[in-house]
A and B are shown apart, each in its own frame.
Chain A
Amino acid sequence: METATKLTGLSEAIDLGILDPAQAEFFETPGGFTGLRLHGTEYKRVALRRAMPIAQPSSYISVADHENKEICVIRSLSDLDDENLRVVTAELDRRYYCPEVVSIKSVKDKMGYVYMELRVTGHGETFDKNCAVKDVNKNIRLLDESSLIIFDVDGNRYIVPSLAALDKKSLKRLEPYLF
């Protein structure tokens, strides 16, 4: 008689370390850092990092301790209660600061660098940013059909959440790089 041997699945073999939201308490330290109390242990400084920073900013967020050792993974921000969500979001916003582009005032392509004057919004404020982009094929990246991200030479990121929302002139300036 044939006996079927069941293959061990990845999820059975490996522990992803998903955080049980009911057990976790994220808090802000007086020094402006983010801490975590979990299973009776208090971590005074944790780092929060997105596994898919662009495609899934609200899912799979790794929580690591001061020495960069992973403590757990938040499967989805929606699993967190209001206070935890507030603290975690504030920390993520600091780490993944990425202003939204409202309009593009000028784009100049000179000797391999693209210089942009952007009008951006972040934290409810609108202001102008000048940036230089190297390797445009790599650093001006379409996320999908309608949104785009720009990485400048310093490592700053600027997102265009909706190309359709840009004014005609801005879109025309960006058009040569939209592929």
Chain B
Amino acid sequence: MKSPIPDYMAPALRRQGLDVSKLIYAIHTDMDLSGGSADVYCALSADTLYILTGREAVVKTKGARRLVALYEPEKMESYPLADLGEPGYEKLLTTGRLFFEKDGGAASVLLFSLGFVAQVERLTKVIKNIREGKEPLFEVALEDEPFCPKCGGRYPEPDRKICPKCLDKRGITRRLLGFFRDYRRKVLVILLVMMAGTVFSVLSPYLGSKVLIDEVLTEGGKYYGAVARTVLLILLVRAIGVGLNVLYQFVLAKTVPWIIFDIKLKIFEAMQRLSVGFYTSKRTGALMNRVTRDAMNLYWFFVDGLPYLVVNVFSLTGVITLICLLNLRLAIAVIIIMPLSILLFRLLWGIFRRFHHRFWVYGSQLNSMVSDSVNGSRVIKAFAQEDEESGRFAAVSGKLTDVDIKANNVAFTAFPLIYLFMFLGQIIVTAYGGVMVINGEITAGTLLTFIAYLSMLYGPLEFMSWVSNWWARCVDSAQRVFEIIDARPDVEDPDDPVILESLSGSIDVRGVWFEYDPATPVLKGLDLAVRAGEMMGIVGKTGTGKSTLANLMARLYDVTAGEILIDGANVKQLPLSMLRANVGIVSQDIYLFIGSIADNIRYARPDASFEEVILAAKAASAHEFIMNLPNAYETRVGAGGEDLSGGERQRLSIARTVIQNPKILILDEATAAMDTQTEVAIQESLNKLQKGRTTIAIAHRLSTLRDADRLAVIDDGKVVEIGTHAELCAKKGEYHKLYKIQLEGLKTINME
């Protein structure tokens, strides 16, 4: 078991005269009480909290090569626990503080930046345990520091002790090539054919220049006069080269689409696996870009980039070997030019990568903007903001164009310069080679072969300049693709799941804290027990955490602290498939997929019979309006389909959940967009369905909850009242206030 006192802290604590063996827990934070930067060690014994404020200094010890951290505290404060009162911590915006409340007053003892909130939370828990007479470390996880031991960087996800910085050792390139693994044989065939094709292509100038001029056309040559045979041979070699090229392209065209299929499927599957939190943190435009554009970038690189890269590297090697064999001195003149070209390419590579990244960012911004304005078209028109929207679009589009122009400018200026550079190389070889021919050091055929090979070098080198651009785009896309594939969902299936044979449907929410963003808790230690088969109404003001609670019960998110038990088992221990099948949620956020109404209703249970679909629609009071549509249950809805009203969409959403037949039904403002008559009709049907089912109904309108067995009032992330309607009215608290306000409202209408 890990020690609750970090090793590096123990010497400093000892130097302050503390008996480390008597200390129970210690943490290290980063601020003093005035908000200044400091290294603060907080150590806890059974009766005292010690807070040491000072600075850590990294020094080189005598004779030792290692650097060690020394801690010299400027001051140490001791707080006897008996005098301190009840511990608590609060998150401010970027900081937090640990305080103690006693006799109506509060004393702050520690200030820290938000990265340390988990440590302070654990310290608070230990102090509470001591005060309550429990084992001090009861339910306190002795987690490792949230830093990577290798690079010292903070783990991006504290619960996931993986440092992407140090994990990514294989490199994106190797990982990309890994996609070829399943197609090994075909890839081998492609490579062999490509290489054979390149051998024939490289042989061609040798036959056409060296052999033809020196051996066939020159008197005394080995094949003097055999022009027809030589020409035929040249033609044959060329034809075989072309034939092999066609063959590898044919095999390649049949293989690469499958590799891209694999990548797209992997991205899509990974996206399905990820939790709701991932989608809310990424813009839709950027996500769509990932699946389509990034995969296409990889496609083109695999189809055009990579094979040509192999061919060109192979022919470069072949040509260089041949020219070295022909004449080493002349070959060196050619080779000298090459490193300079490579340097130029490297420079271009960096510039292109930067431009491409910017291009991608602006491209996704533009996509998001288009999808935003399409989805929000009604609002735009209602507020007459068309011109402003066009202006916003033009601004981003302008930036995109600007980046495009800059990238093109680089390309258009850089490439002619490279060509000029290469042409200079040809001139040097021709001049130097000409002198060698005149001096009789080489034959005219050899010089012509050199010139022919030099032109063969242009192709690969020119390609390299394009491939750098391609490669830039591919690496950038691959990096984003892997980000999705590697992302681990916040909500994961348990390793060792608890399987419940059948659910009775009791729910126990214990001390649940939850926050969407650090420092802004939505639920603050919420407790709520719902009996099996009970209908629990939840009321409260907007933004008090009602829908969040519903989402946590269905485990769309995981609680930050505390636990939610269903039939006594923590939801984190239940298999997600089982949980989702048994917890049905009709949320405020209704999404209809592209397809027929029937398909949408049977979304959770595709095997449901059509009769069940009608029954569900009837239970949701949707049947009538569906039958009024010309194509009834076959009406296409979703993007581009029939435009349904808010109430109609809500009814379809209820039908979708009803058909799922869950043991626990959560209705989150499920009837808010309906008229009272429809609401009553739906409730009557739902009442019949509620038998043997636990129902959580969240509503603003208290009339919606008239059938609830009990009601819970949530305020500021906590349950502030709970009981039956009569009990809560008698209590004259928050519920009574709400009830009176709504009743007064109705009375006013009656009076008028």
Contacts and interface: CB of A to CB of B under 8 A. Distances in A.
A and B bind: yes
A175 B353 CA distance: 13
Contact of A31 (B31, B105, B486): B105
B95 interface: yes
B716 A95 contact: no
B157 to A, nearest CB: 8
A115 B152 CA distance: 11
Q: Which of B31, B111, B153, B364 has the most CB of A within 10 A?
A: B153
B358 interface: yes
Contacts of A94: 35, 92, 95, 97, 111
B262 interface: no
Contacts of A29: 105-106
Given A110-B168, A115-B165, A123-B34, A154 B92 contact: no
B94 A97 contact: yes
Q: Which of B31, B35, B105 has the most CB of A within 10 A?
A: B35
A160 to B, nearest CB: 16
Interface string B463-495: 000000000000000011011001100000000
A148 to B, nearest CB: 15
Contacts of B114: 154-156
Nearest to A126: B37
Interface string A83-100: 000000010011111110
Contacts of A111: 164, 167-168, 479, 482-483, 486
A173 interface: no
B357 interface: yes
A135 B281 contact: yes
Interface size class of B (residues with CB under 8 A): 35 or more
B153 A115 contact: yes
Contact of A157 (B33, B94, B104, B357): B94
Interface on chain B toward A: helix, strand, loop, or mixed SS? mixed
A179 to B, nearest CB: 6
Interface string B238-263: 00000000000000000000000000
Nearest to A117: B153
B107 interface: yes
A108 B33 CA distance: 33
B36 A130 contact: no
A3 B125 CA distance: 69
A108 B165 contact: yes
Given A110-B165, A122-B36, A130 B108 contact: no
B35 A97 contact: yes
Contacts of B31: 97
Contacts of A99: 37
A155 B519 contact: yes
Contacts of A40: none
B153 A179 contact: no
A44 interface: yes
A153 interface: yes
Nearest to B520: A155
A161 to B, nearest CB: 16
Contact of A123 (B35, B167, B399): B35
A94 B109 CA distance: 13
B266 interface: no
A32 B517 contact: no
Contacts of A137: 283, 286, 361, 364-365
A80 interface: no
Contacts of A53: 93
Nearest to A30: B107
Interface in A90-134: 90, 93-99, 108-113, 115, 122-125, 127, 130-132, 134
A99 B358 CA distance: 28
B99 A113 contact: no
A156 B94 contact: yes
Interface string B330-367: 00000000000000000000000010011001101100
Nearest to B104: A44
B357 to A, nearest CB: 6
Contacts of B482: 111
Contacts of B483: 111-112
Contacts, number: 131
A8 interface: no
Nearest to B365: A137
Interface size class of A (residues with CB under 8 A): 35 or more
A179 B362 CA distance: 9
A130 B152 contact: yes
B156 A132 contact: yes
A96 B111 CA distance: 12
Interface string B505-522: 000000000000111000
Q: Which of B37, B99, B281, B364 has the most CB of A within 10 A?
A: B37
Nearest to A53: B93
Contacts of B157: 153
Contacts of B34: 90, 123
Contact of A176 (B92, B354, B486, B517): B354
Interface string A41-76: 000110001000100000000000001100000000
A131 B167 CA distance: 17
A44 B107 CA distance: 11
Contacts of A93: 35
A97 B37 CA distance: 11
Contact of B33 (A32, A49, A67, A155): A32
Contacts of A68: 716
Contacts of A123: 34-37
A49 B358 CA distance: 35
A173 to B, nearest CB: 12
A134 B167 CA distance: 17
B113 interface: yes
A113 B362 contact: no
B92 to A, nearest CB: 4
Nearest to B364: A137
Given A94-B92, A137-B361, A156-B94, 19 more contacts: A31-B106, A45-B106, A49-B93, A67-B716, A95-B93, A97-B94, A98-B94, A111-B482, A112-B479, A112-B487, A113-B164, A115-B153, A123-B36, A125-B36, A153-B154, A155-B94, A156-B114, A175-B354, A176-B354
Top 4 nearest A-B pairs (CB, nearest first) are: A155-B518, A31-B107, A32-B108, A112-B483
Interface of B: 31, 33-37, 92-95, 97, 99, 104-109, 111, 113-115, 117, 152-157, 164-165, 167-168, 281-283, 286, 354, 357-358, 361-362, 364-365, 399, 479-480, 482-483, 486-487, 517-519, 716
